[in-house]
Structure 1
Amino acid sequence: MHLTESPSTRQQTGPADQAVSPTSFTLEMARQQQRELTAVEQFAAVHGKSESASNLYRDLIPAVKPQTGEQYAFEVNLDKCTGCKACVAACHHLNGLEADETWRRVGLLVGTKPELPVLQHVTTACHHCVEPGCLQGCPTNAYEKDPETGIVIHLDDQCFGCQYCILACPYEVPRFSASKGIVRKCDMCVTRLSSGEAPACVQSCPSQAIRITNVTRSELAAAASADRFLPDSPSPKITTPATRYVGRIADSMQVARVDKKQVARQHVPLSLVCMLVLTQMSVGCITAATLDRSLSIASATTHWSLLLAAVATGLLGIGAATFHLGRPHLAHRAILGWRHSWLSREAIVFGAYLPCLLLSVGTFAWPRLTPFQTSALALSTLTGWLGVFCSMRIYQFTQRPNWVGWRTTIPFLTTAITLGGSTWLASSVGSTSVSLPFAVALVAGLYLARVAGGILVSRHTHGPSPTPSPAFVQLRSSSHVCGATLITGALLLSAYATDWSTALAIAGCGGLLLAELLDRMIYFETGAAIGMPGGLGE
């Protein structure tokens, strides 16, 4: 069969011969497809003819570098954003990110009233804030804000993977890489910008919804003071973000994030749970030892028990913190950011707390140091409470709705008081110098104070709050009741010199310790940030 026919031959054929065979039709379609270019081929052809691909995006980046008082910023036109996520794919590919790592995300805003049936996609990445929370919170000085461009850059070789910047950023921008043991984030493709080329997300957006602009920091501060940023997102007053969202609904108060009621339970870092509870228990024990020594309430055995409990829990708690680090061999860098980071201050204070504890033990172990017992105990107590205060400020600094103010202060204080008081009672079982009615009343007071503190915190909780695990809540309540009951039983039995009293007292302390560990797990589980708009099912 001939694949081609001349026009004269085609005109001489009859109607029966004019029928097109399947083979001829297939060949004709193949020739037509060869003559036409696909979208990818057309895009490649344009880039191939251009001397530099960056010339295609000159109008999407500033012609001049930021002047004094200015910085680079993303500008997102919400009217142009279609939610195609080309920016996400380009950022992931051109920056060589891991499979589950993303520096740019696309969320969704929806109308809250029937007369405004809006569905608006929002692309978001690092906002390169004027006062970045990640930089202020980092204990290793692994962040720096470029004085010329204003870009917030993460120094990978300086990071030791504590992940505190993720908590300190109200937009949850930094991402932890478990394989590398460090945190990474968007740097606005600073190397591309320095060579006059647009960032990956800007180049890839088919509707040109993203661009880089020069903005003045005074304008950003004014916008933050007026709460102008993006509907249903964290307050710009926290860090003064530089990203500008423009469009018809950029300032609308009649839209809300689609995932507003889908707040997931947060990750529970068990190492930090143990660190917080055990260090607070240690401070409670040394406080009880100091008061006991000053008031001469119990025996020398009680003093030793409290001191050893304080040292043991202090060592275990501080040691547990290192298991949270992605690069624990660099733990010594934790003190570098002491000028601005509460995490660095906590590391310094608790680093001084342990020698003070050992000094207190030494004053009881060596007679020559006995005159310094009161001073050593007072110094240990003061240093310990200063460390607890730093722990409070670490989480209050994040300004997460369920961690601000008293929502952190009450749990941390009551943990130290409850565990310290219960340890003192357990170590005083059988001591004739302790009044039984006083001891029982103290147990009841500690339990009621703990329950009242929990109720006060739960009633004043606001903002996004995921429901804690029912198993955690039930087990916490049961452990509190059992612990208080066992200690009370031990105190009552001790009046009859029963051998079971000591075992019951230890079991009671264990129950209360378990309850506090569960309470701290719930604290982390419900510590959700407001964050930027997400998508359905995220």
Structure 2
Amino acid sequence: MKDDVTPSNLDIVEVFDPRDMTPVVKPEVAATASHWELRTDEQPYAFLSDKKVDDENRYGQKIDLVDLTGLPAERPMYINENPDVGVNPNRNKQHGFFFTADNCIGCHACEAACSEKNENPAHLAFRSVGYVEGGSYPDYKRMNISMACNHCDNPVCLKGCPTRAYTKHVEYGAVLQDPETCFGCGYCTWVCPYNAPQLDPIKGQVSKCNMCVDRLETGLKPACVSACVGNALDFGVIENIPENREQAKTSIPGFPTPEITHPNVRFQQTKTMPIEMTRTDSQPVKYHKDEKGNYKPVIDQKVGKEKHWNFARLSSRENPLVIFTLSVQAVMGAFVLLFLGDKLGVSFLQDIHNSAVYAPIMLACLVIGGIGNVMSATHLGKPHRFYRGFNNLRHSPMSREILGVAGFMATLGFHLLFSLPGNEIFQNLYTAVLGGSVTDLIAVDTAESIGDVIGYVCLAFIAFGLYYMGRSYRIPARPFWNHPQVYTGFTGSAIALGALLTGVAVVATQAITGADYAAVLQGCGLVLVAGIALEGIGLIWHHKDMDGAEHEGAASHYVQRTTFGKTYLLRNAIVGLNLVAAIALLAFELTGPWALFAWLLVGFAQVFASAVGRALFYILVIPTTMPGAFFWKNKGFEEHARDIGLAHMPQVGVVMDAH
């Protein structure tokens, strides 16, 4: 802005009019443009120059977004808390970036300009430049890729965010995010294929590219475009090919499939590239040209085929989610087994339900589930804002998962409450402490009837919550997760760990009191076998599909068989041996101390295998993200920086991997 612009001379402010590419004096506009004065020192290439606008983009989406919403064309965006409306005549059209890969020299000026304008710390970058390269001397080629948010037609970040921190605006089609609404779960960083949302582990919140909408209001291109040295970046109404360009492709080597989100970015890349292009970062992914000339991701065997243990690297910032998912699934499985088994007439489960141990088991389930939920909250950047997770039930599978788990925990608590009047331990305790009889409060039959109704509601919440717990990981941008094995794994864990939890509680009680626990041991063992078998079937299915795939999921599986190869084999061996051992114990109907000891070994081994498998599930996934550089946006460099202490130097741009 001009320094000499004051309220007394607003009538002569020069306001840029993109319609005729001339700085003109428009008093009627300038009088209301107290915030949108022209920066007259900008070069001509920094101004928007769209004169024609297509009706639809190539995906059939209307470019004039007012046509889709019916909202007022001149409503304010409150950019920087200012209600004024800018002078851009195309403010209600979908805008997008245009990247000419042939021109990019990898100078990172766009990164610097973006970070300077948004005052980003060193460890965040809304725009980043990565590299792919291939060929051999003398025909060796590198292609640089500058990428930020693509403000997609189908913004999966908006649909995935449980707090509704994202908005797709009619103005410019910008996908904007409010860091103050965000509670730092990072789910948007999982679902976005382009690494656009940036989770700040220091502030515990996400932020991202905002399309520089304040500059667009005055007819200026985004800061990164204006700073581009090689004339590689351009910007305007989508589908408009900039001057001196001849292509508007939707993909280039290293760019994820546009079918996931229909991104508003277009490319030009005319130089011939080698058949294979590799990444300069540590991800084991390269890109191979098919018969149609399109580059598809395949495995790049950067670490060879040697197998390692790497137990220390099983620990990650997702540890709270490992504990959360396993504990909640175990509690869900235990409740289904105890409650539904009683209603279906399974004799040993009916005995448990009618015994004094039922309420203590439910209480233990409530405590274990509560610990899991607390661990889930600690994974958030802002744990005290956990209640915002219910904000996006319309779209977000994570919001629905939170609703399902919260509903399960609430109904489990009420079911426990109404099971107390019929519990012998509680009756005696009530009489000893308060005197009188608990039946003075509520009849036992009435309490049991209410408890049964709540129990059925609890079952519905379990089905809902367990489904959306799996659905939250069916993410197209993470092919290693986007497989039915998520459902078989989560359900198998619920069945197996639920049977273990029930068996340990009941058998321990009956062993102490001298009661016969053979029926419980056999019954819970049979359920345990079913859970292990279901999980094993899913693992085999997943291995088969990932082994023959050509995407980032196959690369994740390659890491699983090499970097963590020995750990992976150990987990699989334990699952297989547990299944065989449990079937043998059931077939021979073994009882007594040695049989109990054998079941305990099987139980401990299954818990260990479940924990290792769930840790692998989180740390192995390779997203369909953009290539990184040698050090920046490079997972290998980040791990190295943490190992040797560079992460303690803020200027390096790497921070400790925790909230």
In structure 1, how many angstroms separate the alpha carbons of the residues matched to 2:261 and 2:401? 23
Contact 1:66 1:72 survives alignment (8 Å): no
In structure 2, how many angstroms separate the alpha carbons of the residues matched to 1:443 and 1:341? 32
Match of 1:200 in 2: 223
In structure 2, how many angstroms separate the alpha carbons of the residues matched to 1:281 and 1:60? 57
Contact 1:109 1:257 survives alignment (8 Å): yes
Secondary structure of the 2:472 match is helix
Contact 2:252 2:269 survives alignment (8 Å): no
Task: Confirm whether residue 155 of structure 1 aligns to residue 208 of structure 2.
Answer: no
Equivalence map 1:260-271=2 (5 Å): 260=285, 261=300, 268-271=317-320
Secondary structure of the 2:99 match is strand
Equivalence map 1:496-535=2 (5 Å): 497-498=592-593, 508-535=602-629
Structure 2 CA distance for partners of 1:389 and 1:115, relative to 1, 3 Å: farther
Secondary structure of the 2:235 match is strand
Structure 2 CA distance for partners of 1:359 and 1:441, relative to 1, 3 Å: closer
Task: Confirm whether residue 453 of structure 1 aligns to residue 531 of structure 2.
Answer: no
**1:531 CA drift (Å):** 1.1
Match of 1:422 in 2: 500
Q: Which of 258, 265, 268 is matched with 1:236 structurally?
A: 258
Structure 2 CA distance for partners of 1:442 and 1:327, relative to 1, 3 Å: closer
In structure 2, how many angstroms separate the alpha carbons of the residues matched to 1:534 and 1:242? 21
Which structure dedicates a bigger proportion of its chain to helix? Answer: 1
In structure 2, how many angstroms separate the alpha carbons of the residues matched to 1:438 and 1:351? 29
TM-score, scaled to structure 1: 0.79
Match of 2:208 in 1: 185
Structure 2 CA distance for partners of 1:393 and 1:115, relative to 1, 3 Å: farther
Contact 2:496 2:529 survives alignment (8 Å): no
Secondary structure of the 2:171 match is coil
| Cα deviations by residue, 1:306-346 (Å, 9 ceiling, x for unpaired) | 53443233212222110011111111111111111111111
In structure 2, how many angstroms separate the alpha carbons of the residues matched to 1:80 and 1:374? 69
Structure 2 CA distance for partners of 1:263 and 1:374, relative to 1, 3 Å: farther
Worse-superposed segment, 359-368 or 97-106:
359-368
Task: Confirm whether residue 312 of structure 1 aligns to residue 367 of structure 2.
Answer: yes
| Cα deviations by residue, 1:444-473 (Å, 9 ceiling, x for unpaired) | 454344333222212212322331334643
Secondary structure of the 2:180 match is helix
Match of 2:392 in 1: 337
Structure 2 CA distance for partners of 1:159 and 1:441, relative to 1, 3 Å: closer
Worse-superposed segment, 260-269 or 398-407:
260-269
Match of 2:462 in 1: 384
Task: Confirm whether residue 138 of structure 1 aligns to residue 176 of structure 2.
Answer: no
Structure 2 CA distance for partners of 1:378 and 1:400, relative to 1, 3 Å: same
Secondary structure of the 1:179 match is coil
| Cα deviations by residue, 1:365-413 (Å, 9 ceiling, x for unpaired) | 2224123444333321221121011111111145411111313122111
Structure 2 CA distance for partners of 1:449 and 1:337, relative to 1, 3 Å: closer
Amino acid at match of 1:282: V
| Cα deviations by residue, 1:67-98 (Å, 9 ceiling, x for unpaired) | 49731111111121111111112222232111
Structure 2 CA distance for partners of 1:439 and 1:239, relative to 1, 3 Å: closer
Q: Which of 490, 499, 502 is matched with 1:412 structurally?
A: 490
Q: Which runs of 5+ in 1 are unaligned?
A: 1-49, 218-225
Match of 2:334 in 1: 285
Contact 2:418 2:451 survives alignment (8 Å): yes
Secondary structure of the 1:176 match is strand
Match of 1:403 in 2: 481
Amino acid at match of 2:605: G
**1:505 CA drift (Å):** 5.1
Contact 1:79 1:247 survives alignment (8 Å): yes
Match of 1:356 in 2: 411
Match of 1:19 in 2: none
Structure 2 CA distance for partners of 1:414 and 1:440, relative to 1, 3 Å: closer
Secondary structure of the 2:107 match is coil
Structure 2 CA distance for partners of 1:426 and 1:482, relative to 1, 3 Å: farther
TM-score, scaled to structure 2: 0.65
Contact 1:268 1:521 survives alignment (8 Å): no
Worse-superposed segment, 116-125 or 479-488:
479-488
Contact 1:491 1:501 survives alignment (8 Å): no
In structure 2, how many angstroms separate the alpha carbons of the residues matched to 1:305 and 1:514? 25
Structure 2 CA distance for partners of 1:441 and 1:114, relative to 1, 3 Å: farther
| Cα deviations by residue, 1:206-238 (Å, 9 ceiling, x for unpaired) | 122111110169xxxxxxxx9942234222111
Structure 2 CA distance for partners of 1:94 and 1:168, relative to 1, 3 Å: same
Match of 2:65 in 1: none
Q: Which runs of 5+ in 2 are unaligned?
A: 1-37, 52-86, 241-247, 286-299, 304-312, 422-443, 511-515, 635-659
Task: Confirm whether residue 81 of structure 1 aligns to residue 176 of structure 2.
Answer: no
In structure 2, how many angstroms separate the alpha carbons of the residues matched to 1:237 and 1:263? 28
Amino acid at match of 2:101: L
Match of 1:273 in 2: 322
Aligned sequence identity (%): 25
In structure 2, how many angstroms separate the alpha carbons of the residues matched to 1:77 and 1:65? 25
**1:183 CA drift (Å):** 0.6
In structure 2, how many angstroms separate the alpha carbons of the residues matched to 1:274 and 1:395? 16
**In terms of Rg, which structure is larger?**
1
Secondary structure of the 2:172 match is coil
Amino acid at match of 2:399: S
**1:51 CA drift (Å):** 7.6
Structure 2 CA distance for partners of 1:134 and 1:435, relative to 1, 3 Å: closer
Contact 1:160 1:181 survives alignment (8 Å): yes
Contact 2:497 2:528 survives alignment (8 Å): no
Secondary structure of the 2:94 match is strand
Contact 1:232 1:255 survives alignment (8 Å): no
Worse-superposed segment, 162-171 or 63-72:
63-72
**1:135 CA drift (Å):** 0.8
